Amino acid sequence: MPRILLVEDEPAIADTLIYALKSECYEVVHVMTGAEALKLESQFKHDLAILDVGLPDMTGFDLCRQLREIRRMPVLFLTARSEEIDRVLGLEIGGDDYVTKPFSPREVAARVKAILRRSGNGNVVAQSVTLPSGKGLKIDDLAKRIILNESALDLTAHEFRLASVLISHPGQVFSREQLLQHAWDDPGAVTDRTVDAHVKSLRAKLKAAQLGAEEMIETRRGLGYSYSLLNSCA
């Protein structure tokens, strides 16, 4: 079970994050100051650190530098200011990702999962779904490819991310907002229509690959989109 060090001085924010991370089966150790974090990290190994940039005793950036003198680990910053300076500073000192407050705890959990996966600590490598026809649909998360009938679909990065979240949860309805959070690094910069456009092109590619069968991705009016195993007759 990956161990996450959360350094956040606002209890309400920390609580929602702890809840979201624990429900994804991460072990979370929470402290409120940089000094406590440094003391803990010198005693225990953590797989990833989530650092608030505005801590009472130092900045999250300073803390990141000092933590990395102890041990190299992936870092996700939580920042209250969306100015470019924070982003640049945070990434220049080697942060792996950042989110701007207010954020959705689920989004943070998704980012954590992605970082751990990239750094080799995640446990999702490839998922396969067997279709009713007996043929296979495979999500190869390392190669970032979707394989249908043993050939890889030619998808863009966003199409791949949309497809992998839908296909790995058959029948579950995702709102456009949820799909934005999952598939875009900067969800605030795009609109619902962007999701619709990418779903449309993804559908066309899925359809072409299985020679004109029904929609594998269903529109649920007023709700969003879901992936239907029943319509997948490749």
Residues at the site binding Ca ion, with contacts judged by CB under 5 A: 9, 52, 54
* Closest CB 94 distance from Ca ion, rounded Å: 21
Smallest gap, in angstroms, from Cβ of residue 183 to Ca ion? Answer: 29
Query: Edge-to-edge strand order for the sheet containing 126-130?
Result: 126-130, 136-140, 145-148, 151-152
- Please identify, using beta-carbon distances, which residue of 33 and 168 lies nearer to Ca ion: 33
98: which 2 tokens?
């950042």
**Residue of minimal Cβ distance to Ca ion:** 54
In whole angstroms, the minimum distance from the beta carbon of 102 to Ca ion comes to: 13
Residue with Cβ nearer Ca ion (7 or 114): 7
Residue among 99, 139, 97 at smallest CA distance from 116: 97
Cβ-based nearer residue to Ca ion, 54 or 122? 54
Residues, the chain = 234
Single out the residue of 83, 8, 4 nearest to residue 48, CA to CA. 4
Closest CA to 231 of 176, 171, 179: 171
Tokens 């190869």 map to which residue?
A: 140
Enumerate the β-bridge partners of residue 3: 27
**Contact call for residues 42 and 65 (beta carbons, < 8 A):** no
Which of residues 80 and 197 has its CB atom nearest to Ca ion in the complex? 80
Nearer CB in complex with Ca ion: 47/52: 52
Q: Could you tell me the smallest distance in angstroms from the CB atom of residue 9 to Ca ion?
A: 5
Question: Smallest gap, in angstroms, from Cβ of residue 72 to Ca ion?
Answer: 25
Beta strands, E only, 74-168:
75-79, 97-100, 126-130, 136-140, 145-148, 151-152
- Give me the least distance between CB of 32 and Ca ion, in Å please: 9
CB 147 within 8 A of CB 138: yes
Residue closer to Ca ion by CB (options 16, 201) is 16
Nearer to Ca ion, 52 or 97 (CB): 52
Min. distance of Cβ 50 from Ca ion in angstroms?
12
State how beta strands 48-52 and 126-130 pair: unpaired
Cis amide leading into 187 (omega within 30): no
